[in-house]
Structure 1
């Protein structure tokens, strides 16, 4: 710090030059200014000889002071002043170790964390010090070896928060080996402030030895969501916060698959509490549409809970074949089933007892699962209706009983023997059987089988070759307890015991509830056991579909993430190998969430690091480099000095007579403009000189858009064309410069081949002079892409009468617009770079209108119908700029409608085709002339 202020210098020894200021003052006082020159014509010799001023012997005091200030500013600027520089970290000689946490808990304050890391690495680079850089969420595959600070800075800039907690313990072995060959001189740990296992802290203390350890703490930890529950009244979950979190409230949102908000509830923490509950008390139908629950403002993977079909409440129909249900309702199978299914499903019971009428009425109510308790043979018409319902995705669950043992229909997964089997009776040699462990291919895999559950009666299945594959649960003697098979998109499930306690005490146990929950969870989703047409079972594999990144955004799966078996997925936890997200296919997927029920955000415990450790907070503000400011002030004083010398040498009255002096003044002003230009912001530099824009536009190919005066529309256009320019640089040989916003009334249009014009209904109509400029631009080969951004629906009669369309018609009524038509299938635009049959933007329903082409008879040797030239006008309503718009961090600014990644990719491809079409014209059509040209050239 400098004189009690938060001011430091990179090279403070240069400040010693300030001691030379008295010498400079002495030299400046003795240096007279340039003598004043006076024209001496003979005719004025006698008139003005007694009136001229004398030249002073020394420089004026104010000019000397100005030059002293200029010298002082240059010396201070060269010393490298830094405002609020970070406190120096205690280090020793040797390799500097820098460890950084990059789990999901770092996402909210990632900029602050990487900013502190960049300061440390930059300081090491200036000192020329080697360092070892490692990130705790990147796993043990990192190179634990010293490297230059520049290489570490490149790694830091490419680093991103991971969608799982930092796996610090995985680094212990690699760090120990690195310490043997390169012991640390100091260790700096940029932590996220959240506790993991204590093993890493102990290992780090042992590895450091006598080296000092500095731990950065105090990041703003994001809140998390866990323990999602969908009960009869509401969808509820638990909101978790760090003990150091100061915010006492959170806003929880529920969204559907399209990103539309279905509900929003507040969650408040009591004083000192780290957990609270949020509840969405919505109708079941609306809750079943929820696909994502998130905390508003918390851009972190842990602040998101994904919802798949397994979490949605099923509508279950119950039908019992026993007549005593009304006489003794508490002993009926339906009572047991209702008590078991009610916590996670909605129950529907028929109003009539006739099964032929009850089944259709339940199906009409939209049930997902139908449970039949000891219903023997079904009517033929009911059987056919149920078979069609199952093929379309329904799940039929049947429980055995006396009626089932006496014979059944063909809606059962296996063939049954006549009669039932009694265990443990006076006439039976067999004792009651316990449950065996559930097979690995069963949806019940992973459930614990309680020892107290026994079965005294059951219906037996005929032994067949496919019986083991269709068995989901069995007894200790190997006989099936639950069997199932696939019928089309649905499932047939049979419990070989009753739903009440007459044949077994299974309905009285907790495992019965979990088994029913698993049965409902595999209905209408990717099943854990999928059977082909022949009935054999195969193990299902869930490929990664859409995964979350550390900020809680959906993205494409990384190549290192492999498919997960459906059985292993039930026990999977979010990690580097299985990041949170959606696994499966678009037709059916399962959600893997980050936080589990027992997870918490506990503070980091540093007591095991020992006495060599110190804790320091992250910098509250970034350091400010003042060198550019001091150099700018020095240059301004230099200009003032030049102006003073110019005035002392004769003033403005002699500009026309003193060509040499005026050239020097002009040179000073030009130098000031060139040096001050980079110091100004991009927008200021752009508006300062249209000539500079013209020069840049001639040197680089640039996309351009029309400034509407509406900040929201103009920002979207700028971001959209920036995103399209980046996409062009990555996918094509074209590397366009930064896009330029044009004032359609005054800026030159001739430098651009394509002009994007978003229509603002509130904008004024261009005047006649501007219309003439636009018409000239289009006649001279330019193309204007008009975008009404209003989701236009194509119709035979043209455009719909929206405000934006009416404004477009008002603009075009004075222009020489050719006849238009939607892009035909054989137009050059469909194959200018990508092969396309549609041109979507943020919306996908509006056609792209181009100049109508004369009908030409199709010929086999001509691949396209278009003639030479480019359409001067393109019109769409799909809001291209919003689909292309990206932020500085690479995020998309606006969702597509519908929110589909494929639509956004095709929007970028449409933009590439439009740019290539405007730049190259109809070159695809000219390819048909290649044989004739080669023949003419003699090749």
Structure 2
């Protein structure tokens, strides 16, 4: 960078080209040869005539001056000059950046404002000290002092929010140690304050202080799990600026797959400076052991997520070996298959029933091969009432003993008919039965039932059975397959079939493993150890996501008697692990709520008010070069009498010509950049978060298209229907966020012309972000556009040209997999190709990536290869927008059929 007066040259090395001027002088002062005038009779062909004088004619001084100016100005254009008030004195600037958990929700906006500030001083003689407020190691906070704009920008790029509270006392201490007087202090923070922050504020007020604060409405809420009982989770949602009376809490697994969404609508209460909302969330039984964390309102911050402890229960499972019949082979015993199903994840104890009861086990299996002695029935009943679970496999021996009166314990409990069903006999219409799908009240809900499982026999229960008997699984005819009955704190569970192929093949399937694991995992009564030393496993970053542990992370001692561990740089929120499982340290459990709202006197909202920017001279110089070039050629043609031009008569023309707007060339340059490359446009909405997601997702899609095709895609560009031309974009993505969206007549006309001339408009309805249910996109569309403005919408299927423009597709999912509607324009110019594609599948959400190149959002439908299909659909849309319906031509049919067969 080079400063000359008030002009700054951003590429000063190009000024060296001025030294090459003597080399170009020879060419600048010469002009084309004069035409030679030769007179000859018409019948004579003068073929070998040579010019009398081949020496170049010297140009006039005016032409030489024009050419010299053109050369000099072209060199200046390459050096990128800017004009502005340049203060040559050294600026000492201090930038303080709050990067604690409170900044997470507004971090991108904060970084853009800081970049704007740095850019405004780019051409000044500045010295920036940039300092964060959140401690990242012992007695240290991130800071840098530099006079290099690129270095400052690189520091800002690497800076990120930390998921703990700031250390303003350490910031003040570091500033005192620097012993510097700053010309200006810029503090990027929130409009909140506590005791430490107030002390720092009073200290900084001595300097020229500017505070760029975020609105309190951008503060993230705080989600805290107060208690958990069975499947009920009691949450508290806290916010400083406003009460949150409705919203949703999402339940995710460790792979960030959305398992459950709970919508709440509760009254909030004012508690001091804060608004608090209490929410009771009840999880379905089948999800109890699948959920890893909760998140409120899809806000990605460390205060809006709650991770759950995952202790290994190390449950002991007892297998009764009482009165074993030695003639029974090992493979004919039900306990053999139970042991094989459970020994990988549970410790198996094999003993007689009396000893198992004495060990106070919580789970005991009894096979059909074994009997319960009368003398143990009373002990067994007491054990059940105290919280034990007895799981019985029935069969022909149980039927025999029931008929002999030896097993009244089970007969009394489950009202058994003392006989097995006879499928395939007695005129039965079926030889076997299948298992009915588990409903959402069953603990087995969600398990996939293999088609090959067949039930040939089973022990039936009396139709007039007790109402206290709970059916956990049914056969397709409604008969009970697995029954349960509560005894005090415990439970007895009966399988109506044994592990015998003559009865069923259930025990020989993976479903048998899943069924038993669901039963065991639903049983309580296993306590955690009082004290554990846990090592850092995964840390929660400033955006509420898990990543590798921070370098400064230390082990923590978890004591059930002690208070909650205090979150800070060496004990960050996240998951801590030992041999017995995982402990979740959440930010919300550690916060002191010692801050309140505060309005700063020195508050400013926009960096533009500082107005340190210079004017770009490059476009002006390009315009001047263009004018000089035209003048030079015009003067030569007049001097050679190639045109007749009287300067006095045409003075007005010259005057108007010289007043051509200087931005003409710049405008042409901008238009050329738009038409010379492929790029996708996206419509700017009023929701900044949706705009960022759309841009992110379309960048990801553009990269995918560039990798998979010959098309080279540039970065997507934001557009506005009112101000921007649409013709430059083959495809435009529009997220409708308001059901009452209104377009004026000019905007509707623009969209109509765009779609009728080959443009493809993708409409993604996002009017119900807080609801999993689909939007009525067609209804919303009809509310925005006049009736019959577009042709009738049809459901997009695999017969449409879009489904085969590049990939052969049968579904068109995004983050969701709902129906997609399409309408075609009637223009012959565009081959009646698709003009509007409409759905609420949230395609950009499924394409968007975070900084680690992981996908930002989990998928809401779990179809096979959903993410891949989503990218392929996006590629097909772009190809269709460029090529139209060419794939519907009959010439492509053989190749398409061949690909379908493959």
Q: TM-score range by the shorter chain?
A: 0.3 to 0.5
When normalised by structure 2's length, the TM-score is 0.43
When normalised by structure 1's length, the TM-score is 0.42
